[in-house]
Chains A and B, each alone.
Chain A
Amino acid sequence: MTIRDRALLEVVLLGAACGPLSVWLLANRQAYAAESLAHAMLPGLAIAAAAGAPLLLGGSAGVVVAALLIALAARDQRIGSETAIAVTVTGLFGLGALLAIDAETPLGDLLFGDLLGVSDGDLIAAAALAIVVPLTLAAVHRPLTVAAFAPALASRPARTQAALLALLAAAIVVAVQGLGNLLVLALLVAPGIAGRRAPRLPQQLVLAALIAAASGAAGVLASDRLGTAAGASVALVLVAAAGAGLRREPRRNVRRSPIEALSDRA
């Protein structure tokens, strides 16, 4: 298998997992959580890279520590949870950049990934993710639906959110090998936007998976043909697909005069 073929297989597997996950992340308004977690895990990656340990191991530890610190920051009432999270994530990101200075893996690879250097272990991890994430999402489909549609109706919203965030953490840890700490976000957000073209939820989930896999493959092929960076090419194709998926939404909750409302009804 050529380097390009391995990269293609990696992005298709990641797309199959992250596409439907992306739909749920957006539906549950977790795009900011995805960004925070992805960026804040950099110290774990940097320490693993400096120690010559597998990035998967460092990423796993990094994402757990980042999740705990973000959860602690979110409780801060002095400056507000969003501000506290932003400060924490920036701090962790800066710490990761410092720790990565003498690392065996260049900082650029940690930030932007190395799709053309995926190992057998990376491919196995991506394949496992492509199985585990869709199956888990299918198992929690109903509670996720209620939590996203009307949180007040959800019976155990905290448990549902925890399951979604656990899947997010697993996806980040695996996908960061190929797409890096910064570009991985494209795979976690863009397919969900692109999938909104479909009218029903099951169709959106399938469409998001297809678009994620196809955009990933298109990015790798474009990179191969044009000689551009693979991770950046994949991210740009994903963002372009998301842009194409945006549609003009009708304005909602617009206050109208009773006469306008009556004329509409007539």
Chain B
Amino acid sequence: MLVRAEHLQAGYAPGQPVVRGVEFAVAAGQAVAVLAPNGGGKTTLFRTLLGELPPLGGTFAVDGTIAAVHQHDHARLDFPVSALDVALMGAYGRTPWWRRIAGADRAAARAALDRVGLVDREGTHFGSLSGGQRRRVMIARAIVQDARILLLDEPFAGVDRASEERILTVLEDLAAEGRTLLIATHDVEQSRRWDRVLCLNGRQIAFGTPEETLTAPTLAATYGPELVVLREGRMGLTIQHHEH
């Protein structure tokens, strides 16, 4: 298992967990949708898995390098970097300060931009790209990091349909390569595409296959009054994406 959590409690202050009772195990090549209402604990869980926050209880293990695509990275749109420069940032961690970025890493960055459909925009100023394109560049940066585990915090929030389709394809390809993906999302229907679903709402509500977890009672416990049932039994959410 590449990612395993046991009785994990995550939060910002001792004794005040934002989410507790998290227990799951994810194997290589599995993609997990993480469903939670705003404030339900998915970003806090991600920050704990990334090592940015110490666990407040329980344990977790991450077997391999881990990379993240944040929902709000607050990237400076006026900063003079191109799409290729940003993708190359994925190679910074493995390049000593006294060495130039290797040719292989440059090739990897171009290949990553090609995967997200932006190789023809490699020289474009990052701030000039659309929101969806910028998100795709950030995913390219995570690909260049060559991490075995990818945490994606609402990668589809605020992106156009073309970017969403491209991102979905890339994520499925990454999982097929044996990488483990944890994808925080509010899209219940889209969660059916992934291998597992983790439902959180201050605590773990459920973890299992989409068939096991995407049921009306589980979703009601996850989202409470924010959940609406649409025609033909499909479910949707009334919530809006929010700024942290």
| Chain A residues near B (Cβ < 8 Å) | 27, 139-143, 145-146, 148-153, 155, 196, 198-201, 204, 249, 252-253
Q: How many A-B residue pairs have CB under 8 A?
A: 54
CA of A93 to CA of B43, assembled, Å: 44
* A151-B74 contact given A140-B97, A142-B95, A146-B92, CB 8 Å threshold: yes
Please name the residue on chain B nearest to A23 by beta carbon: B80
Q: A252 is contacted by which of B73, B80, B127 (Cβ under 8 Å)?
A: B127
Asked whether B77 is an interface residue with its Cβ less than 8 Å from the other chain, the reply is: yes
Residue of A145, A204, A249, A253 contacting most chain B CB atoms (<10 Å)? A145
* A201-B74 contact given A139-B98, A145-B89, A149-B86, CB 8 Å threshold: no
B80 adjacent to A199 (CB under 8 Å):
yes
Q: Which residues of A contact B127 (CB under 8 A)?
A: 252
Interface residues on B, range: 20 to 34
* A152-B70 contact given A27-B79, A201-B80, A252-B127, CB 8 Å threshold: yes
CA of A240 to CA of B213, assembled, Å: 64
| Chain B residues near A (Cβ < 8 Å) | 70, 72-82, 85-86, 89, 92-93, 95, 97-98, 125-127
24 residue pairs of the A-B complex, CB under 8 angstroms, read A27-B76, A27-B79, A142-B89, A142-B92, A145-B89, A148-B76, A149-B76, A149-B79, A149-B81, A149-B126, A150-B74, A152-B74, A153-B73, A153-B89, A155-B93, A196-B80, A198-B80, A199-B80, A201-B80, A201-B81, A201-B85, A249-B78, A252-B127, A253-B77
CA of A146 to CA of B126, assembled, Å: 13
A142 adjacent to B97 (CB under 8 Å):
yes
A148 adjacent to B97 (CB under 8 Å):
no
B89 adjacent to A200 (CB under 8 Å):
no
Q: Which residues of A contact B82 (CB under 8 A)?
A: 200
Q: Which residues of B contact A146 (CB under 8 A)?
A: 89, 92
Q: Which residues of B contact A201 (CB under 8 A)?
A: 79-81, 85
Shortest CB distance A30–B (Å):
14
Shortest CB distance A196–B (Å):
8
Shortest CB distance B139–A (Å):
13
B81 adjacent to A145 (CB under 8 Å):
yes
CA of A249 to CA of B126, assembled, Å: 15
Please name the residue on chain B nearest to A198 by beta carbon: B80
Shortest CB distance A158–B (Å):
13
A252 adjacent to B77 (CB under 8 Å):
yes
